[in-house]
Amino acid sequence: MEAVTLAGRRILLIVSGGIAAYKALELVRLLKKSGAAVTAVLTKAGAEFVTPLSLQALTEEKVYHDLFSLTDESEMGHIQLSRAADLVVVAPASADILAKMAAGLAGDLATTLLLATDKPVLVAPAMNVRMWTHAATAGNIQTLKSRGVTVVEPEEGPMACGEFGPGRLAEPPVILDHILSMLTPKARPLAGHHALVTSGPTHEPIDPVRYIANRSSGRQGHAIAQALAALGARVTLIAGPVTIADPPGVTVLHVETAAEMLAAVRAALPADIAVLAAAVADWRVAEPATGKIKKQPGAEMPALTFVTNPDILATISEPGPLRPRLVVGFAAETDDVIAHATAKRLRKGCDWLVANDVSPASGVMGGTENEIHLISAAGIEDWPRLPKDAVAARLAARIAQELTGETP
């Protein structure tokens, strides 16, 4: 299959303020390499971090920045500029420009173009972790998503300000993948297929205020759901208790316990693809207390009796009319990863098993990167350590190739 390109497509790239603006230069390079024409708009704050000359050298086109330039208006009015592109991309998207977009403000060239455009819009936020997690920013993001704006979620990691957390601009190849999925029909080989994805931990109650859980953040499962949707699949995501946002473009069902997750999985069938990435608790308390268990002076510690939770992966892998064509399980291991995962695939009956090392030193569980081994009847594929979004995109592409013979 021919490589997917952006030949004949025009991108309007708005670069707003922030230290991450330097990554916009790499994004331009990748877009040009993919065949796209790029017109850049640089905000006043963005020009504090990158220069118009650097953007002009890479785009090979004039860089726009002044709403009231009579020369620019005579060459290409701002209304025409906003509509001549196939896609408007804001990268990085600062908290300020996101707030202005949500409020419908148009005080400079960038915001005027965003308000005047009739083309799809993609934003890649980048900001301090506290700004990203602030209720105002969260509300603005939800407003933009409700209006159809595609949001490439920021990554977690160290920041220039010295803090650590979510807010780092997604890497340019990840942004490019989202652009390709929006603009290239050839990149949607899973159109017409239903994908079922589970994600996150489960919480098994001890009493009304305590529960048994694990450290899963749900980032990998949520990223897989979004990657499958980007390839055209109709995705049902069944999510345990997580603190991350629902991925756009998928149907999300929220559950708490393993029993609830199994019931939701069964209700979502039939499906062509099942990717069971959730870290389901193996056991639950047999009889959770109906009231909070009190610590009484001199009293013995309460004894908890455990029972085994339902095995969702083994249940879905059982032969039958509702078994998905491809069942992908996950194995989070802390030692002898390959051996344990290989045995698990045979024991559970799934087609593929994604194995990873989640020992504390790996930083995988709860982190932003993953290093996996894809185990199937054909053998073992060792993948390099990648951001979880990139792992998801690569896994979704392998799934598409397996089901359709097409390589996105």
Q: Is 311 annotated as a binding residue?
A: yes
Q: Is 348 annotated as a binding residue?
A: yes
Catalytic annotation, pick one of 1, 115, 161, 343: 161
Q: Is 118 annotated as a binding residue?
A: no
**Three-state SS for 152?**
coil
CB 350, CB 328: distance < 8 Å: yes
69: CB partners within 8 A, 6+ apart: none
350 an active-site residue?
Answer: no
Total length of the chain:
408
CB 333, CB 356: distance < 8 Å: yes
**Three-state SS for 158?**
strand
DSSP string, 212-264: E-----SHHHHHHHHHHHHTT-EEEEEE-S-SSPPPTTSEEEE--SHHHHHHH
Q: Is 310 annotated as a binding residue?
A: yes
Q: Is 306 annotated as a binding residue?
A: no
Q: Is 312 annotated as a binding residue?
A: yes
**Three-state SS for 276?**
strand
Return the closest-CA partner of residue 123 out of 93, 99, 95: 93
**How far lies 134's CA from each of 61, 99, 130, 137, in Å?**
37, 12, 6, 5
In angstroms, how far apart are the furthest CA atoms of the chain?
Answer: 85
Alpha carbon 8 to its chain centroid, in Å, reads 27
Query: How far is the C-alpha of 398 from the C-alpha of 400, rounded, in Å?
Result: 5
Decide: residue 318, CB within 10 A, 0-12 exposed, 13-18 middle, 19+ buried.
exposed
The single residue listed with the structure tokens 């790499």 is 26
Q: Encode 36-68: b = buried (16+ Cβ within 10 Å), e = exposed.
A: bbbbbbbbebbbebbebebbeebbeeebbbebe
Q: Is 330 annotated as a binding residue?
A: yes
Numbered residues of the known binding site: 282, 292, 310-313, 330, 344, 348
Which residues are known to be catalytic?
A: 161
Numbered residues of the known binding site for CTP: 282, 292, 310-313, 330, 344, 348
